[in-house]
A and B are shown apart, each in its own frame.
Chain A
Amino acid sequence: MELFIQQIVAGVATGAIYACVALAVVMIYQAIHHLNFAQGEMAMFSTYIAWQMLQWGLPYWVVFPLVILVSFVGGFAIERIVFKPIENAPVLSHIVIFIALFAIFNSFAGFIWDFTIKAVPSPFGDGPLWEGAMIGKHQAGMIGVTLIVLLLLWGFFTFTRVGLAMRAAAVNPESARLVGIRVSMMTALGWGMASAIGAVAGMLIAPVVFLEPNMMLSILLYGFAGAVLGGLTSPLGAVIGGFIVGVVENLAGTYIPVIGGELKLPIALFLIVAVLLVKPAGLLGRRVVQRV
């Protein structure tokens, strides 16, 4: 029984990692209706910037907002510089650029900071939450921050004009433009926000998995799985999806002998396929209907 509970708790903790990334995935999907393959590498790069600032001796709670801001500006700039000019190009051109960005960020991080692992401190401290607790301070903090980000996003999309405009621009760019929304600016804003959320995810993940250029490689895969499972249009769904992936992965690895260590990774992919077959919009997602 103890093992079962411990695996669930550990699953929720890793699930929080996936949930964070899934949120960034949903954010970018809301803005451009594509999955950005470079999302994870951008988050990794932001985390390196945070690590570098901490190395320089800046206090954590100065670094945290600063890196989010830098990442926001960075994401915004990438959209303006790289994607604006090919706005009307076919999807494949976009995908090629995603992959290019992926390789560029990965190699540059290795070039600047080398490939050895770095320890990123946790703002919540080390050790268990309380004496004998099964969950660590950092894991608990991570879950908390994920929920806060979720709440902020929900508020943003539901109650603010910009959020509403962004949704409109994503769902129906033509009509949005006609009612005076600057659609292309909304897209850039979406990139900035996705990049900022990615930075939060990276800074929370790094204390657990250690920072290195390939840190986000498999995490992004699980994040995608979480986002698809919960619904690519729903931030809440993405978070729930992330937690489910984390817990299912641990329980399956522990209790289904066939799966063991070897088949743990494909579980994420299996979930993606299963969801797409049974409920393409995800658990909480809206079905996107396009009038043609």
Chain B
Amino acid sequence: MLNRRTLLGAGAAALAAAGIPAAALAADDVIKVGNTMAYSGPASAYGQIGSTIGAYIEMVNAQGGVNGRKIEWISYDDGYSPPKTVEQIRRLVEQDEVDLLHATLGTPTNTAIHKYVNAKKVPHLFVATGASKWNDPENFPWTSGWQPNYPTEGAIYAQWILANIENPKIAVLYQNDDYGKDYLTGLKRGLAGREDVIVAEAPYEVAQPTVDSEVINLKASGANVFFIVATPKFAAQAIKKSAEIGWEAERFLNNVSISVGSVLQPAGLEASKGLISAGYLMEVDDPQWADHEEVAEWRRFMNEWYPAGDQTSSFTVYGYASAYTLVETLKRCGDDFSRENIVRQAASLKGLRAPLLLPGITINTSATDHAPIEAMQLMRFNGESWERFGEVVHAESS
């Protein structure tokens, strides 16, 4: 008589018999790339990054894959919630047995899996966050950043301020967490011994309704430079308030909040005029790039492989350049797709030009430098769009 136990037992035996060779086979001709992304919840706008990378990989596979192998893109939704990220990454590593992780999104979410993936020795490459802690090859050799990190950006502003503003007095508004403090650290590093020009620092908490009171206090410090380290909502408030109280300071805005549509427009385009920030990707809407070969190529890709994607969003640009970096790294692995070799190749990119980076910016990594992009160009908001000025500023450590 068949009972439930024998059935289960038979099933498990069949799985055990069939499972092992199947997995080994898969490892031979498919490279499995895992990812977690916010496809739902408050940060779901970022989901386009994951969808763009997925579409890019589909295109690469259709063109024959990488060194004769197909790439499998397994991207799960974590809703930007660290506990969910942990769960999904475990699933990717232990059940899907991915070869590497690419562009996992978010600072708190990546922090939650940082130790785990390094203990498991899974390549944790080109994470989609700007925190500085991803560049720590000594303690976390399996992790690598991608975009310019926050301290780098802070340092670039500091250099410009020292070189261009007479008798600078800097007031800083910053979010009271890792992200805000990273910028402050970078700013101080860039001031290199002239930290005394920071005359006021005001932290704010994300739970606060407004930062009006902080902005008033910062103005009262008599500063002539106002550095806004804030996420979109608070950045918009700070821009609006500083204009409203007639504070005639040179205002710097962190790259996190440079979106014209979702920050500067709500804050008021007139109030936003004159803001300075820094970028590293092309603004594809900008007429000056309209005829650029890489932009045309990107548009062709978007139309054919990701027609639902938003061609005005910086996230699809980001995803495209990020996916290119991944595929290029895999190409350099030759025939050896062991995890060790993948990380080795990711840490030996020299002068790699990913499309849609601003001209003059390249990707450089080494065994002691896991921060791929470390150059930016300053830009000023003219009331309609961002205008780049000056040279590309390099803050490369390798």
Could you list some 22 contacts between A and B, CB below 8 A? A3-B217, A3-B220, A10-B216, A13-B212, A110-B41, A115-B41, A115-B43, A117-B263, A205-B209, A208-B237, A209-B233, A210-B236, A218-B207, A253-B214, A254-B217, A261-B205, A261-B214, A262-B176, A264-B205, A264-B208, A265-B205, A265-B207
Cα(A3)–Cα(B214), bound, Å: 11
- A41 interface contact, C-beta 8 A: no
Nearest chain-A residue to B213 (Cβ)? Answer: A250
Chain B window 192-236, contacts with chain A (Cβ cutoff 8 Å), 1 for yes, 0 for no: 000000000011110111101110110010000000000011001
Give min CB distance, A268 to chain B, whole Å.
10
Q: Is the CB of A7 within 8 A of B216?
A: yes
Chain B window 24-66, contacts with chain A (Cβ cutoff 8 Å), 1 for yes, 0 for no: 0000000000000000011111000000000000000000000
Determine the chain A residues whose CB is within 8 A of the CB of B41 once the complex forms. Answer: 110, 115
Determine the chain A residues whose CB is within 8 A of the CB of B202 once the complex forms. Answer: 261
Q: Is the CB of A254 within 8 A of B208?
A: no
The listed residue (B205, B210, B216, B263) touching A3 by CB distance below 8 A is: B216
Give min CB distance, A142 to chain B, whole Å.
13
Cα(A62)–Cα(B205), bound, Å: 36
The listed residue (A110, A119, A128, A218) touching B209 by CB distance below 8 A is: A218
Q: Is the CB of B207 within 8 A of A136?
A: no
Nearest chain-B residue to A250 (Cβ)? Answer: B213
Determine the chain A residues whose CB is within 8 A of the CB of B216 once the complex forms. Answer: 3, 6-7, 10
- A48 interface contact, C-beta 8 A: no
| B interface, size bucket | 20 to 34
Q: Is the CB of A14 within 8 A of B210?
A: yes
Cα(A118)–Cα(B262), bound, Å: 7
Cα(A208)–Cα(B42), bound, Å: 21
Would you call the interface of chain A mostly helix, strand, loop, or mixed? helix
Determine the chain B residues whose CB is within 8 A of the CB of A165 once the complex forms. Answer: none
Determine the chain B residues whose CB is within 8 A of the CB of A127 once the complex forms. Answer: 244
Q: Is the CB of B203 within 8 A of A118?
A: no
Q: Is the CB of A14 within 8 A of B203?
A: no
Q: Is the CB of A115 within 8 A of B237?
A: no
Give min CB distance, A287 to chain B, whole Å.
31
The total number of A-B Cβ pairs within 8 Å is: 92
Cα(A214)–Cα(B207), bound, Å: 9
A-B pairs, top 8 by smallest CB distance, nearest first, are: A119-B266, A261-B203, A116-B262, A3-B220, A115-B42, A218-B207, A250-B213, A219-B209
Which residues on B are within 8 Å of A, measured CB to CB? 41-45, 176, 202-205, 207-210, 212-214, 216-217, 220, 232-233, 236-237, 244-245, 261-263, 265-268
Give min CB distance, A213 to chain B, whole Å.
7
Q: Is the CB of B213 within 8 A of A11?
A: yes
Q: Is the CB of B237 within 8 A of A116?
A: no
Cα(A110)–Cα(B207), bound, Å: 18
Q: Is the CB of A222 within 8 A of B209?
A: yes
Determine the chain B residues whose CB is within 8 A of the CB of A128 once the complex forms. Answer: 244
Nearest chain-A residue to B231 (Cβ)? Answer: A117
Q: Is the CB of B244 within 8 A of A253?
A: no
Cα(A97)–Cα(B267), bound, Å: 36
Nearest chain-A residue to B207 (Cβ)? Answer: A218
| Residues in A6-26 with C-beta less than 8 Å from chain B | 6-7, 10-11, 13-14, 17
Q: 7 more A-B contacts (CB under 8 A) besides A114-B45, A116-B262, A262-B205?
A: A13-B212, A115-B44, A127-B244, A218-B208, A219-B209, A264-B205, A265-B205
Cα(A11)–Cα(B41), bound, Å: 33
Give min CB distance, A272 to chain B, whole Å.
16
- A260 interface contact, C-beta 8 A: yes
Give min CB distance, B204 to chain A, whole Å.
6
Determine the chain A residues whose CB is within 8 A of the CB of B45 once the complex forms. Answer: 114-116
Chain A window 170-207, contacts with chain B (Cβ cutoff 8 Å), 1 for yes, 0 for no: 00000000000000000000000000000000000100
Give min CB distance, A180 to chain B, whole Å.
44
Give min CB distance, B250 to chain A, whole Å.
22
Cα(A11)–Cα(B214), bound, Å: 11
Nearest chain-A residue to B216 (Cβ)? Answer: A6
Determine the chain A residues whose CB is within 8 A of the CB of B214 once the complex forms. Answer: 253, 261
Cα(A11)–Cα(B237), bound, Å: 16
Cα(A259)–Cα(B206), bound, Å: 16
Cα(A15)–Cα(B2), bound, Å: 73
Chain A window 233-262, contacts with chain B (Cβ cutoff 8 Å), 1 for yes, 0 for no: 000000000000000011001100000111
- A212 interface contact, C-beta 8 A: yes
Cα(A213)–Cα(B42), bound, Å: 9
Which of B43, B212, B261, B267 is the most central at the interface, judged by chain A CB atoms within 10 Å of its CB? B212
Given contacts A117-B262, A128-B244, contact A261 B209 (CB under 8 A): no
Nearest chain-B residue to A212 (Cβ)? Answer: B233
Give min CB distance, B215 to chain A, whole Å.
9
The listed residue (B204, B212, B220, B236) touching A261 by CB distance below 8 A is: B204
Determine the chain A residues whose CB is within 8 A of the CB of B232 once the complex forms. Answer: 116-117
